Amino acid sequence: MNMSSSNIEYLLTAGDPSEVDALFAEARRLRDEVYGRRVFLRGLVEVSNHCLNNCLYCGIRRDMRCQRYRLTKEQILDCCRTGYGLVFRSFVLQGGEDAWMTDERVCDIVRSVKREFPDCAVTLSLGERGYESFARLREAGVDRYLLRHETADAGHYALLHPQEMSFDHRMQCLLDLRRLGFQVGCGFMVGSPGQTVETLKKDLAFIDEFRPEMVGIGPFIPAAGTPFENEPAGSVELTLRLLAIIRIIHPHVLLPATTALGTLHPTGRERAIRAGANVVMPNLSPQDTRALYSIYDNKLSTGSEAAETVADIRARMQAIGMEMPVDRGDFCLKQTP
Ligand code: SF4
């Protein structure tokens, strides 16, 4: 399929449903060629909702008056134990940029997880850090790092973030992570204030050039109490088209069907899989902290036990012809035989 700049623009805006169906079919074909009809699970553990940053869109930004928490190492290990006992072989430890999460503390947590679950991948998503810090985390055994770039347009970045945050530093972090041998994930919100077709084309060009191992995109959802609380939510339809386009320009990428899609549409995650996604990230965090990690409003965070959630997701995936292997779900450069 033609992925020239003008055709991408056409695909993002086309009104013809048959064109969109063809786009999704091509994305599925390419995904199946590389990964087969498999959806990989990552167990998400939300380790802290403290954050020293003030991103304008975020429900746990520094200025929010909300109840803050941090999980202890033992709580984090408990979440992983629960996940391992189900089918998880990949854990994502996510949190705000929390100064309490020093290299020493994070490395200790990572080493403990790796010691107890040596066959599992550990991903961190703890925001920006310096090169030396990333190097220590890598040394401690971290396999992957997720850091959404948020937008590849510096002017748009400045609209979404306070002055003290730097577009250049964020991009530098992604380069540092790549240099240190992490599997790197970037990503952005769809429909964030100030986003245009032109900024989206820059995001896609960045992904095409950087070739990240993962890309996380989901619709923007406004969070009460933030400067963007009255902005409209992003479009599920546009997110699905972007997922398909990303799959086509980078067929080997690991592409999550994000929680934000499931929040805006009851079958949003299934639709994402049908548009070429191949990862889901159920929440393994303790029941009593899930509601506190409210980065946007009404976040899909069923009170269900992890076992119930996994059974529900497996049934949903089977219904659309996908299987969920017990697998770390590493980035793959080969094609399935
Ligand atoms: S988006 Fe991340 S870095 Fe920004 S305020 Fe929220 S948790 Fe902090």
**Tokens read off for 69:** 């928490």
Whose CA is closest to atom 2 on ligand 1?
96
**Does the structure show a pLDDT above 90 at 240?**
yes
Instruction: Please report how many Cα atoms fall inside a 13 Å half-sphere around the Cα of residue 43, on the Cβ side.
Output: 32
Tell me the CA distances in angstroms from 273 to 49, 189, 297, one per residue in order.
29, 18, 24
Which atom of ligand 1 approaches the CA of 59 most closely? 6
Domain of residue 224 covers: 5-319
334 in a structural domain: no
Quote the CA–CA distance of 278 and 254 in Å, as a whole number.
6
pLDDT category of residue 259 using cuts at 50, 70 and 90: confident
**Does the structure show a pLDDT above 60 at 302?**
no
Residue 317 CB contacts under 8 Å (≥ 6 apart), including other chains: 39, 270, 273, 280, 323, 324
Quote the CA–CA distance of 316 and 266 in Å, as a whole number.
11
**Tokens read off for 63:** 């200025």
**What's the whole-number average pLDDT of the chain?**
94
Give me the amino acid identity at 238: L
Q: Could you give phi then psi for residue 200, rounded to 5 degrees?
A: -65, -40
**Average pLDDT, integer, range 245-258:** 96
118 in a structural domain: yes
Residues 7-48 have pLDDT tens digits of: 898 899 887 888 999 999 999 999 999 999 999 999 999 999
**Tokens read off for 337:** 């035989």
Question: By three-state DSSP, how is residue 44 classified?
Answer: strand
Compute how many other C-beta atoms are within 10 angstroms of the C-beta atom of residue 104.
Answer: 10
**Average pLDDT, integer, range 207-236:** 96
What is the reported pLDDT for 307? 80
**Tokens read off for 48:** 């802290």
What is the reported pLDDT for 48? 97
Which atom of ligand 1 approaches the CA of 52 most closely? 8
**Does the structure show a pLDDT above 60 at 236?**
yes
Which atom of ligand 1 approaches the CA of 96 most closely? 7
What is the reported pLDDT for 47? 97
143 in a structural domain: yes
- Least confident piece of the model among 231-245, 282-296, 316-330: 282-296
Residues 84-133 have pLDDT tens digits of: 999 999 999 999 999 999 999 999 999 999 999 999 999 999 999 999 99
- Return the best residue to mutate from 48, 49, 51 for the ligand 1 pocket (most ligand atoms within 8 A of CB): 51
Q: What is the dihedral of CA 202, 262, 60, 246, to 10 degrees?
A: -20
What is the reported pLDDT for 288? 85
**Does the structure show a pLDDT above 80 at 304?**
no
Query: Residue 324 in contact with residue 38, Cβ under 8 Å?
Result: yes
pLDDT category of residue 303 using cuts at 50, 70 and 90: low
**Does the structure show a pLDDT above 60 at 64?**
yes
What is the reported pLDDT for 110? 98
- Least confident piece of the model among 53-62, 130-139, 306-315, 322-331: 306-315
Query: 212 C-alpha to center of ligand 1: Å?
Result: 21
329 in a structural domain: no
Which atom of ligand 1 approaches the CA of 51 most closely? 8
How many domains does one find in the chain? Answer: 1
Higher pLDDT, 265 or 141: 141
CATH number for position 235: 3.20.20.70
Closest by CA to 331, choosing from 27, 35, 90, 41, is 35
Q: What is the dihedral of CA 43, 263, 331, 96, to 10 degrees?
A: -60
328 in a structural domain: no
Residues 156-172 have pLDDT tens digits of: 999 999 999 999 999 99
Provide the terminal-to-terminal Cα distance of the chain, rounded to the nearest Å. Answer: 23
Query: 205 C-alpha to center of ligand 1: Å?
Result: 24
Quote the CA–CA distance of 13 and 32 in Å, as a whole number.
26
324 in a structural domain: no
215 in a structural domain: yes
**Percent of the chain with pLDDT strictly greater than 90:** 82
What is the reported pLDDT for 321? 96
154 in a structural domain: yes
Residues 283-296 have pLDDT tens digits of: 999 988 888 887 77
Query: Residue 31 in contact with residue 276, Cβ under 8 Å?
Result: yes
What is the reported pLDDT for 301? 61
